[in-house]
Amino acid sequence: MPVISLFSGSYCNEEPVVLEIGSRTGYRLIPDEQILAEASRLSTIPENRIVRVFSDKTSVFNRVTRERERSMASLRMALAKMLAEDDLIITGFAGQLIPRTVKHVLRVCLIADMKARVATAADEHGITPPEALKTIHGADEKCAAWMHMIYGTPDPWRADLYDIAFPTDKTSPEDIAATIEKSLAAPVIKLAGNAQQAVGDFAIAAQVEMALVKKGHAVGVDVEAGAVTLTINKHVLMLNRYEEELKDIAGRVPGVTSVAAKVGPGYYLTDVYRRQDFDAPSKILLVDDEKKYVQTLSQRLMMRELDSAVVYDGEAALELAREDEPDVMILDLRMPGIDGIEVLRRVKQDHPAIEVIVLTSQGSEDDKKTCMELGAYAFLSKTVDIEELSKTIKAAKEKIRQTREAGS
């Protein structure tokens, strides 16, 4: 039986429409929340971090953690698992990830005139029309960012993205549901053998993508009847060896019958591939108001395969700790505004898993005692040798690994 994928603009009467469709068809509702929960279970990435991809938010550490790519792969895996069943209404952002090769999906768009949406939002929230318009624009920008990431278009309501679209300010939920019920009976939508194959290929592609991303590889994945094609869109050194590594990883995924690799149009000569080690504390945050010093330090650490992000004050450090929670924070003491000791106190209070290395040129013995009592991992002078600092970071890595293993 077919599946309905439904994408709606904000304040477009989605809920009564979905309820009416469910009542007429008996289909089971699968909202984004359910897909996010399953994606989190499959990937161990928290739901509140996976959901960031819907608004195109990217962690400052994404270059090394590949969290965005892992989140997308986990969403596809969760979606593919659910598509193994029939009689579904998939609502929200995740449904847009269903590939066009899956033919038994009826893709539905709900939208309304802006005037009607503004009136609905203003009435629902008790706000003025200008405030309502601002709220709607914010929601539409999120939709546009998501669709641009998937389809390369900034227009989330473009007609060719859907099989059918309804103006909800002019069409009742009953009429919309009746039209959809009739459309589901069309031969082009009914589930056939090749559609089952397409769902299976989608599941294999999602598993291959996750297997590759876990090893630090971000490449295009296409699957047809179990045959995998990998597209390399960034320049790499030793291309043949890289292709063999990709093929070996993909070939181990159940259901894969063959693997081929090719170079895509994005194979740029300016980029150099380096596989990430996801066991390392790759999320390193440097906090120091001396911009030249901390930028140089970041470059020196990168040469030792320790990539980092940089902020220049305590307030920014605390905000990033809330948003992205680094593994290791290297923290200066003397900064304008919120100083290092206060940053350390708040970080260890709210995010005790973060290991903090204090790196200062002005710290006293009393400062060192205070910092260690607050939970700092180490207290070092800025004159410390870069190799010694690297060893300290790696020792913090080992503590993080042991802590995570003990908690698993």
Note the pLDDT tens digit of each residue in 285-317.
999 999 999 989 988 888 887 888 899 999 999
Q: What angle do CA 250, 256, 262 make, to 5 degrees?
A: 55
The whole-angstrom separation of Cα 10 and Cα 197 is 34
The whole-angstrom separation of Cα 124 and Cα 135 is 12
Which tokens go with 74?
Answer: 């986990």
Confidence of residue 272 (pLDDT cuts 50, 70, 90): very low
Predicted pLDDT at 302: 83
Q: Is 299 helix (H, G, I), strand (E, B) or coil?
A: helix
CB atoms within 10 A of CB 355: 26
In single-letter form, the type of residue at position 114 comes to M
> What are the residues whose beta carbons fall under 8 Å from the beta carbon of 220, sequence distance 6 or more?
230, 231, 232, 233, 264
Give ranges for CATH 3.40.50.300 in the chain: 3-184
Predicted pLDDT at 63: 76
CB atoms within 10 A of CB 191: 17
Identify any residues that bridge with 29 across adjacent strands, giving them in sequence order: 89
For the segment 325-343, the average pLDDT, to the nearest whole number, is: 92
Higher-pLDDT residue of 406 and 221 is 221
Q: Is 261 helix (H, G, I), strand (E, B) or coil?
A: strand
Which tokens go with 168?
Answer: 């909800």
Predicted pLDDT at 135: 95
Concatenate the DSSP letters of all residues of 360-374 into one string. Answer: ESS--HHHHHHHHHH
Q: Is 173 helix (H, G, I), strand (E, B) or coil?
A: helix
Which of 49, 96, 95 minimizes the C-alpha distance to 69?
A: 49
Give ranges for CATH 3.30.300 in the chain: 215-268
Q: What is the mean pLDDT of the chain?
A: 89
pLDDT above 70: residue 270: no
In single-letter form, the type of residue at position 174 comes to E
| CA 360, 365, 367, 372 torsion-angle sign | positive
Instruction: Enter the CATH code of domain 284-407.
Output: 3.40.50.2300
The whole-angstrom separation of Cα 46 and Cα 67 is 11
Predicted pLDDT at 157: 93
For the segment 183-190, the average pLDDT, to the nearest whole number, is: 71
Which of 166, 153, 182, 124 minimizes the C-alpha distance to 9?
A: 166
Whether the model clears a pTM of 0.85, i.e. scores above it, the answer is no
The whole-angstrom separation of Cα 198 and Cα 196 is 5
For the segment 22-40, the average pLDDT, to the nearest whole number, is: 96
Q: Are 262 and 232 in contact (CB under 8 A)?
A: yes
Predicted pLDDT at 192: 47
**Length of the chain, in residues:** 408
Q: Is 57 helix (H, G, I), strand (E, B) or coil?
A: coil
pLDDT above 50: residue 278: no
Q: Are 208 and 253 in contact (CB under 8 A)?
A: yes
Note the pLDDT tens digit of each residue in 219-250.
999 999 999 999 998 877 788 899 999 999 99
Predicted pLDDT at 408: 59
For the segment 48-72, the average pLDDT, to the nearest whole number, is: 84
Predicted pLDDT at 84: 86
Note the pLDDT tens digit of each residue in 78-113.
999 999 888 999 999 999 999 988 888 999 999 999
For the segment 172-199, the average pLDDT, to the nearest whole number, is: 80
Third-level CATH fold of 215-268: GMP Synthetase; Chain A, domain 3 (3.30.300)
Question: Which of 136-145, 237-246, 345-354 is the least confident region?
Answer: 237-246
> What are the residues whose beta carbons fall under 8 Å from the beta carbon of 215, sequence distance 6 or more?
249, 275
pLDDT above 90: residue 259: yes
Q: What share of the chain is helix, strand, coil (3-state, %, to 5)?
A: 50, 15, 30
Q: Angle 193-214/239-251 helices, nearest 10 degrees?
A: 120
Architecture of the domain made up of 3-184: 3-Layer(aba) Sandwich (3.40)
In single-letter form, the type of residue at position 213 comes to V
Which of 192, 190, 222, 218 minimizes the C-alpha distance to 205?
A: 222
Give ranges for CATH 3.40.50.2300 in the chain: 284-407
For the segment 350-361, the average pLDDT, to the nearest whole number, is: 93
Predicted pLDDT at 164: 95
pLDDT above 60: residue 358: yes
Note the pLDDT tens digit of each residue in 156-167.
999 999 999 999
The whole-angstrom separation of Cα 394 and Cα 332 is 19
14-28, 191-205, 234-248 — most confident range: 14-28
Q: Are 333 and 361 in contact (CB under 8 A)?
A: no
Predicted pLDDT at 325: 85
